[in-house]
Structure 1
Amino acid sequence: MRAIWSGSIAFGLVNVPVKAHGATTDRDVELHQVHAADDRRIRYQRRCEVCGKKVPYERIAKAYDDGDRTVVLTDAEMRALPAESSREIEIVQFVPSDQIDPLMLEHSYHLTPDSRSAQSYVLLQRTLEETELAAVAKFALRQKTRLDALRVRGGMLVLQGLLWADELREVEVPKALADSKVSAQELKISATLVKQYSADFMSGDFEDAYQVQLRALIEKKLAEGDALDTGETFSAAGTGAATAGAGEVVD
């Protein structure tokens, strides 16, 4: 698997060269949009809503609005901001793993040793396992500074992105919950029911039924010959109307 990043884990005088690989993958069936009337591909274009012209990506600037005012940020201004270019996963502290709120977890990456000697990698991995700690680290990826948790999974170091504290929404407990009372007998009955459904979690026992049925539907239509020629369907010149410029799609 191709690494998406290479650098090192650093804390104190310890330096562990590593490579980062995506730990998850999207298995959803990718679907395109087509015009239901003639089965031709729907394509989106970047057009200015004032002049109506198509705008190439390199001519597009970014803007921020606060509801009443809009500030336009040019590419030159964006490039002038200090870019995060560090090649280090900087460990800032070690904390008990259960202190990291699961709501904060984002994307995960497998870290593999990036050197002939994996001794420093194994030393850090074994230390985290035996102390039952996770490392909180700062990490830069694609010019974005991230907060991450470094932990062990299946004998490998895993880097898990964390949301920043101000990205978690606080929720107010409804008064109805605070006022609700349950009896000891109700709790006992509920616990009995929970025990009947209790088991060790095995993620392989579950599947996305919608995706399974969607794939089955696609395979059935292909087997029955209920399909179109991809080259013709997704070609801009697939119909006379498209060639003539009629039916232009505006994003």
Structure 2
Amino acid sequence: MELLWRGTLAFGLVHAPIRLYQAVRKRPIEFRLLHEPDRAPIRYLKVCSEEGREVPAGEIVRGYATDDGWLVVEDEELSRAAPTLTRSIAVREFVDLRDIDPIYFRKPYYVAPDEGGEDLYVLLREALRRSGKVGIAQFVLMHREHLAAVRVHGDALVVQTLYFPEELIPERELALPTETRLREGDIRMGVELVGRMSGDFVPERYRNEYRDRVLEVLRQKAEGHLPPELERPAPPPPRPTPVLDLTRRLRESLERAAEARRRAA
């Protein structure tokens, strides 16, 4: 596991030495664009849109678009606004996890104790576990300031970065319904349907089926076989359920959910 960061996790006057690791392993299927006749990879040049020529690195600067044109910003000027580089994740407060809307969740990192910090690590982990709380902290990683939740995951601590409020698009920008023709009975059946379709979340039940199919195509092609025909006519998009037909559809859905539960039992 690749080490990303070393520092301390601070809560109150307690400073626990820690190490930070990636918690997500991305598995992209990477393709390169090639020149078909000789199979050579395509590379991209930095070309001036005005002069149409390749620009050497020494002539490239950073610009910010304004109403009056481009504002050139030097690295030294940006460094004045850079966050203070500290080696500490400082917990500011503790809150209930349920108080954090999942829309704020960004990226998880595993926290492991560094040398000599095992007891302090266990102290914070068990304090969070028994209290049901998560710590809210700010820290600097890769020259960027992050908001984060420090929480328990199994026997590990996790630093879950969060979006800052100004990064989220407010829901008021959506055209949401304010009136409805639904009947109370339909809503009750909807609640019942949710109940019948409810269960425990088992991540292992789900796979990235598209990735599996692409890997199978690549495997067969590498072995010299013609990839199987995977193109299938796309089914027509489902038509919105008319409100007048909603009660019947809900009843049918309830019956199907009940039948699925009987088969699974």
> TM over 0.5: same fold?
yes
Could you tell me which residue of structure 2 aligns to residue 218 of structure 1? 218
CA change 1:61–1:195 in 2 (3 A) is same
Could you tell me which residue of structure 2 aligns to residue 110 of structure 1? 110
Could you tell me which residue of structure 2 aligns to residue 189 of structure 1? 189
Counterparts of 1:77-226 in structure 2, within 5 Å, are 77-172=77-172, 177-224=177-224
Using the alignment, how far apart are the partners of 1:21 and 1:69 within structure 2? 42
CA deviation string 1:105-150 (max 9, x = no partner): 1111000000234111100000011111111101101111111111
So what's the TM-score if we normalise by structure 2?
Answer: 0.78
Letter in 1 for 2:3: A
So what's the TM-score if we normalise by structure 1?
Answer: 0.82
Using the alignment, how far apart are the partners of 1:81 and 1:191 within structure 2? 51
Tell me, yes or no, if the aligned pair for 2:91 and 2:137 is still in contact at 8 Å.
Answer: yes
CA change 1:156–1:72 in 2 (3 A) is same
Using the alignment, how far apart are the partners of 2:59 and 2:16 within structure 1? 42
Greater shift, 197-206 or 132-141, is seen at 197-206
Tell me, yes or no, if the aligned pair for 2:17 and 2:117 is still in contact at 8 Å.
Answer: no
Please report how far the alpha carbon of residue 99 of structure 1 lies from its aligned counterpart in structure 2 after TM superposition.
1.1
CA change 1:177–1:80 in 2 (3 A) is closer
Tell me, yes or no, if the aligned pair for 2:6 and 2:18 is still in contact at 8 Å.
Answer: yes
CA deviation string 1:180-225 (max 9, x = no partner): 1422321232233323322211111111111111111111100117
Please report how far the alpha carbon of residue 68 of structure 1 lies from its aligned counterpart in structure 2 after TM superposition.
4.0
> What is the aligned residue count?
226
Give the SS at the match of 2:177: helix
Unmatched 5+ stretches in structure 2:
227-265
Structure having greater relative contact order (Cα 8 Å, sep ≥ 6)? 1
Q: Percent identity?
A: 28
Tell me, yes or no, if the aligned pair for 1:10 and 1:91 is still in contact at 8 Å.
Answer: yes
Unmatched 5+ stretches in structure 1:
227-251
Using the alignment, how far apart are the partners of 1:134 and 1:101 within structure 2? 13
Letter in 1 for 2:60: I
Using the alignment, how far apart are the partners of 1:30 and 1:184 within structure 2? 51
CA change 1:61–1:205 in 2 (3 A) is same
Give the SS at the match of 2:222: helix
What is the RMSD computed on CA atoms of the aligned residues?
2.2
